[in-house]
Amino acid sequence: MKKAIRNIWIWLVLAFLYAPILILAFYSFTSATMIGTVREFSLENYKTLFTTPELTGMIIGTLILAVGVALLSTLLGTVGAIGSFYSHKRVRKAIELSNQVPVVNADVVTGFSVCILMIVIFHVRKDTFLPLVIGQTALCVPFVYLSVIPRLKKMDHNLYEAAMDLGCTQAQALWKVTIPQIVPGITSGFMTAITLSLDDYFIATYTKPATFDTISTYVVNATKGSQTSIKTALWALSTIIFVVVVLIVVLANRVGNKEESR
Amino acid sequence: MKQKHGFQRKQLAIPYAIFLLLFVILPLLVVVFYAFTNEDGHFSLANYVAFFRSGKTVGTLLYSIVIALVTTVICLLIAYPTAYVLSKTGLKSGDALLLLFVLPMWINFTLRITALKEILTLIEGNLAFHPFANTIICMVYDFLPFMIMPLYNTLTKLDDSFIEAAQDLGAKKHHVFLKVILPLSVPGIVSGVTMVFLPSMTNYVVLDMVYNSTFIMGSLIGSYFSAYDWHNGSVISIILLLIICLITALSSRYTEGETDGRVGAMK
């Protein structure tokens, strides 16, 4: 009996979380322009999604931005974490405190403050993408830093000393001994950075070039009354993203389990 | 260490330290400067006086606090039993199940809200009849995974021997829950609350998408931003920052060693 109640609860919450996405996915394969209306099977939405330059441009732009920001953040955050880990305690505290700012801060404030600094004070032009990349990087690096630091703490520090005793230079020891040990932290930081950039709306609206749209900013504008064909093409986009996320999570988990059992 | 010249590991901190200084600390200082000056660049508190005198801005502040509070409480009420049941299903399957609950986190939130909006429109016909309820439903939908994750992490770490000890000493079921399980899960509750409360106070996009109109704190920044009113925008930022500092200071006491839920969510 108790077990039944537990199961029902779990299913209810899952239904709440997934029903909208799944129902939308179902209708994305029909020619319906509204949910609830029964229409025949159609791949029109997917065709629109992949053949409308405005849509493909926006999707590719978002992906390039996310990968670029994630790479930059991973490099900066990993190197920064290693440096900070071996720094004087006071330096490390200062870095950790500033690192915490974008993490706890509201994204609206982060975006607005970067926007004022770059555009009003430094007069950087928005269409250079510089404010956007810097704004999103400022949001993402702290998360990379936070996922690398625990790995550095867990690392076996004798190996580094051993490498040095065997004739490695500091740089070689760092590259061949330290980095391989913290790879899981680096990859998880990279993944977090990608998802943060893909999900970001606030920093993008304040810092993006007027002619450029990320998925988030595009969808928000599209919901405010636009062509129906675009609206339903976004259902297809939502479905594709859902499938991709499921695949990545399943794959990542397989790899993670293998590593644990090793 | 032994080498006096050349490369040292701690030097690697320099680029990141410069980045933080330039693009995290400096922007905040600029916001502080703009918030306390007027158009002529002189020190002024007029912006604050205007903020607290205007019914519209104070109303927005209060409304967003109410929205955030209700969202947080409902998220907690749904997430706690969920995380509790998950934590009792055994380590391996619990982790796999958790993944199901946090997976929506990685789907772009604007697309998820679009989906929910379609469903709500189908059920209600017209969203205009229940603006408050719909706002809360959308917010809860958006933030629920962020509440489940920290709660699950805390509840799985919970030492069962405490519960067994309480039972052996004759505590009734609800006593075990109230006096043992609940107090021990406070760190998870606190970090879940901070992860939901702050964003839901500032996430005006949800409202914007569902109603084309916004009464949430963040939207004030948005409207000042589109009017190039940097001073008033900064005032809102400062007020939000103060609230954030307050909450962070309150919560840091309970969450020693806990990190933000967004970290390490992806394996």
pLDDT digit string, tens, across residues A3-50? 889 889 999 999 999 999 999 999 999 988 888 787 889 999 999 999
Tokens of A211: 């002619």
Chain A residues with CB-CB distance to B26 below 8 A = 117
Instruction: Indicate the fold that domain B55-252 takes in CATH.
Output: MetI-like fold (1.10.3720)
A-B Cβ pairs (cutoff 8 Å, strict): 267
Could B241 and A105 be called an inter-chain contact, meaning their C-beta atoms sit closer than 8 Å? yes
Chain A residues with CB-CB distance to B31 below 8 A = 109, 112-113, 116
Given the candidates 1.10.579.10, 2.40.110.10, 1.10.3720.10, 3.30.410.10, the CATH classification of the domain at A56-224 is 1.10.3720.10
pLDDT at A261: 57
pLDDT at B5: 57
CB A83 within 8 A of CB B16: yes
Q: How far is CA A203 from the centre of its chain?
A: 13
Q: Alpha-carbon distance A235 to A27, whole Å?
A: 8
Q: Where are the domains of chain A?
A: 56-224, 225-262
Interacting residues of A106 by C-beta distance below 8 A, sequence separation 6+: A202, B198, B199, B201, B202, B218, B240, B244
Is the Cβ of A137 closer than 8 Å to some Cβ of chain B? Answer: yes
Lowest mean pLDDT among A113-127, A186-200, A241-255, B207-221: B207-221
Q: Which of B85, B118, B225 sits opposite A10 (nearest CB)?
A: B85
* pLDDT (average), residues A52-60: 94
pLDDT at B262: 54
pLDDT at B266: 42
Q: Where are the domains of chain B?
A: 13-44, 55-252
Chain A residues with CB-CB distance to B221 below 8 A = 108-109, 112
Could B85 and A6 be called an inter-chain contact, meaning their C-beta atoms sit closer than 8 Å? yes
pLDDT tens digits for range B230-267: 888 899 899 989 998 898 888 877 765 444 455 544 43
Interacting residues of B158 by C-beta distance below 8 A, sequence separation 6+: B87, B181, B184, B185
Chain B residues with CB-CB distance to A23 below 8 A = 115, 118-119
Nearest to B23 by CA among A186, A133, A84, A89: A133
pLDDT at B160: 80
* pLDDT (average), residues A187-216: 93
pLDDT at B216: 66
pLDDT at A120: 85
Tokens of B175: 């006593």
pLDDT at B208: 82
Nearest to B28 by CA among B262, B245, B246: B245
DSSP labels for A82-128?
HHHHTS-HHHHHHHHHHHHHHHHS-HHHHHHHHHIIIIIIS---GGG
pLDDT at A169: 86
Chain A residues with CB-CB distance to B139 below 8 A = none
Could A24 and B20 be called an inter-chain contact, meaning their C-beta atoms sit closer than 8 Å? no
pLDDT at B267: 36
pLDDT at B256: 55
pLDDT at A51: 93
CA of B36 vs chain A CAs: smallest distance (Å): 15
Question: Percentage of chain A with pLDDT > 70?
Answer: 96
Please give the torsion angle defined by the CA atoms of residues B90, B96, B100 and B106, in that order, rounded to the nearest 10 degrees: 130
Among A23, A100, A104, most B C-beta atoms within 10 A, so best to mutate, is A104
Q: What angle do CA A226, A227, A229 make, to 5 degrees?
A: 135
Chain B: residue nearest A225 by CA?
B212
**Which residue would you say has higher pLDDT here, A225 or B146?**
B146
CB A95 within 8 A of CB A80: yes
pLDDT at A180: 92
Could A82 and B12 be called an inter-chain contact, meaning their C-beta atoms sit closer than 8 Å? yes
Q: How far is CA B155 from the centre of its chain?
A: 20
Among A108, A172, A260, most B C-beta atoms within 10 A, so best to mutate, is A108
Could B82 and A9 be called an inter-chain contact, meaning their C-beta atoms sit closer than 8 Å? yes
pLDDT at B213: 60
Q: Alpha-carbon distance A75 to A99, whole Å?
A: 15
Q: Over 90: is that where the pLDDT of A83 sits?
A: yes
Question: A 149-188 residues with CB below 8 A of B?
Answer: 169-171, 174, 188
CA of B235 vs chain A CAs: smallest distance (Å): 11
pLDDT at B180: 85
Chain A residues with CB-CB distance to B240 below 8 A = 106, 108-109
pLDDT tens digits for range A114-163: 998 998 889 888 888 999 999 999 999 999 999 999 999 999 888 988 99
CB A208 within 8 A of CB A61: no
Q: Over 80: is that where the pLDDT of A170 sits?
A: yes
Q: Which of B114, B240, B262 sits opposite A238 (nearest CB)?
A: B114
Is the Cβ of A101 closer than 8 Å to some Cβ of chain B? Answer: yes
Chain B: residue nearest A134 by CA?
B23
- Taking 50 as the pLDDT cut, the residues of chain B under it are 1-4, 257-260, 264-267
From the number of C-beta atoms within 10 Å of its C-beta (0-12, 13-18, 19+), residue B254 rates as: middle
Q: Which of B24, B145, B266 sits opposite A191 (nearest CB)?
A: B266
Phi, psi angle pair for A166, to nearest 5°: -85, 10
The complex's ipTM works out to 0.88
Question: B218: which DSSP letter?
Answer: H
Chain A residues with CB-CB distance to B263 below 8 A = 143, 146-147, 192
pLDDT at B215: 63
pLDDT at A19: 94
CB B198 within 8 A of CB A104: yes
Tokens of B51: 């903020």
pTM: 0.87
pLDDT at A225: 67
